[in-house]
Amino acid sequence: MTTLLFIAVAYMIGSLSFAVIVSRAMHLPDPRSFGSGNPGATNVLRTGRKTAAALTLLGDALKGWVAVVLARMLAPQFGLDDNIVLLCALAVFIGHLFPVFFRFQGGKGVATALGVLIGLNPWLGLACLATWLAVTGIFRISSLSALAAAVLSPIYAGLLMGWNNHAIAVLVIALLLVYRHKSNLIKLASGQEARIGKRA
């Protein structure tokens, strides 16, 4: 029962879509109504409001980190092992993808995945962030950067944390992230994917 409670709380945290929350607070269009239709920082940036995009990025990453860190801090007090941390990592990520508060219409999970990875292991998060930045610097295509980081994340996890349940959890997150980018893969293949900062 306690395990289910941990997972439920992590999922609820993940269901807080900061792209929608920030856009409403700053009187911007709903990010699900323009551009890619994705409630994420990159689409919010298409409004031209960099502050809104930054707050979205920070909020979505922070919720992933908070869910993992809280699970790690509280698990020993309830007699739970480290596997509950991995389950909460998956739950908060899935909450972002399918948020109960927003009719299960969530984002693609890049920022939240980063927060989760930093929570699991700061070096793992930084390795993925460095990959994202490097690919972004060359191509300026957010989805391509996210896909590159996602593909490499399980390898980084295995090298840094061992080929164990941690690597498996990161692999699941990576597969979900790639799945959520399936439309971007089609656009990338046809050369139609939008570059970062393009206005809606």
- How many C-beta atoms surround the C-beta of residue 164 within 10 A? 12
| Whether this model's pTM surpasses 0.75 | yes
Nearest-angstrom CA–CA distance, 178 and 158? 19
pLDDT of residue 66: 98
Q: What is residue 23's three-state secondary structure?
A: helix
Q: What is residue 27's three-state secondary structure?
A: coil
pLDDT of residue 48: 82
pLDDT in tens, the chain (200 residues): 899 999 999 999 999 999 999 999 998 888 988 877 789 888 898 888 899 999 999 999 999 999 999 999 999 999 999 999 999 999 999 999 999 998 898 999 999 999 999 999 999 999 999 999 999 999 999 899 999 999 999 999 999 999 999 999 999 999 999 999 999 999 999 988 878 656 54
Residues for the chain: how many in total? Answer: 200
The packing angle between helices 142-161 and 110-120, to 10°, is: 20
* Cα angle 117-123-129, degrees, rounded to a multiple of 5: 65
pLDDT of residue 38: 84
Cβ atoms of 161 and 123 within 8 Å: the answer is no
Tokens of 71: 């699970």
- How many C-beta atoms surround the C-beta of residue 114 within 10 A? 24
- Strand locations in the chain, DSSP E? none
Cα distances from 173 to residues 3, 10, 60, in angstroms, run: 20, 15, 15
Nearest-angstrom CA–CA distance, 90 and 93? 5
